[in-house]
Amino acid sequence: MGALDFNRAIPGMIEPGEQEFLFELARETYTGAGEIVEIGALAGLSTSCLAEGLRQNALDINKRGRVHVYDNFTIPKNDLETVYRNTIGLADGWDFRNVFDFHAAPWRSHLIVHPGDAALEKWTGLPIEILFVDCAIGEDFHRTIAKEFYPWLTPNGFLIHQDWFYERSGYLPSIMREFCDRLAPIWTIGTSKVFMCLRKQQ
């Protein structure tokens, strides 16, 4: 369940410290130099942290549609099915877009939702200041995400890999070593590894 006052009723799987970090990052550090991108939203817990942080950001910046949310909003038909169903509270059916929309309603104006497989999406070409990836699908998926989204990270922008320390995400360190000249690890929070972009990809 949510750890902050505004999201206590939203189900999810990220830890309280991770929620607080995303919220503070969007509220205190985000400058508006790029977009905020979330890949893997589930029912909207992490979305609420980023969007509420943006809402409370004191800078005079455009906040409308700045958080881009990617998820296929369907229960996976694998060993995670039970985990998803128990977390979301969905006993029947496979689609949970309505669950996300319900919980994300207070921040609708801040969001652009991209339903479907993020690996099939093409990024808009806008700079990205915060990229939060919470989707332990597999190495091919993450390599596609890296190719499509990493090049748009702004200098001093942030990449957060949730699920970093899970066995099923064992491929992530090898992928990130390929970007060590421009994406430096700076923090560990819960099961997330946080990277800072040192320079824009040439």
- Per-residue pLDDT of the chain in tens (202 residues, 90 and over written 9): 456 788 888 999 899 999 999 999 999 999 999 999 999 999 999 999 999 999 999 999 999 999 999 999 999 888 788 888 989 888 888 999 999 999 999 999 999 999 999 999 999 999 999 999 998 788 999 999 999 999 999 999 999 999 898 888 889 999 999 999 999 999 999 999 999 999 877 6
- Provide the domain limits for residue 180: 5-197
Residue 39 half-sphere exposure toward CB, CA atoms < 13 A = 28
Question: CB 187: neighbour CB atoms within 10 A?
Answer: 12
Q: Which long-range contacts (CB under 8 A, 24 or more apart) does 185-188 make?
A: 187/21, 188/164
Helix runs in 29-69, H state only: 45-56
| CATH code for the domain of 59 | 3.40.50.150
pTM for the whole thing?
Answer: 0.94
Q: Please count the structural domains in the chain.
A: 1
202 within a domain of the structure (yes/no):
no
| Cα angle, residue 69 at apex, residues 117 and 163 outer, rounded to 5° | 75
Beta-sheet strands, E only, within the chain: 35-39, 67-71, 111-115, 128-133, 153-161, 183-189, 192-197
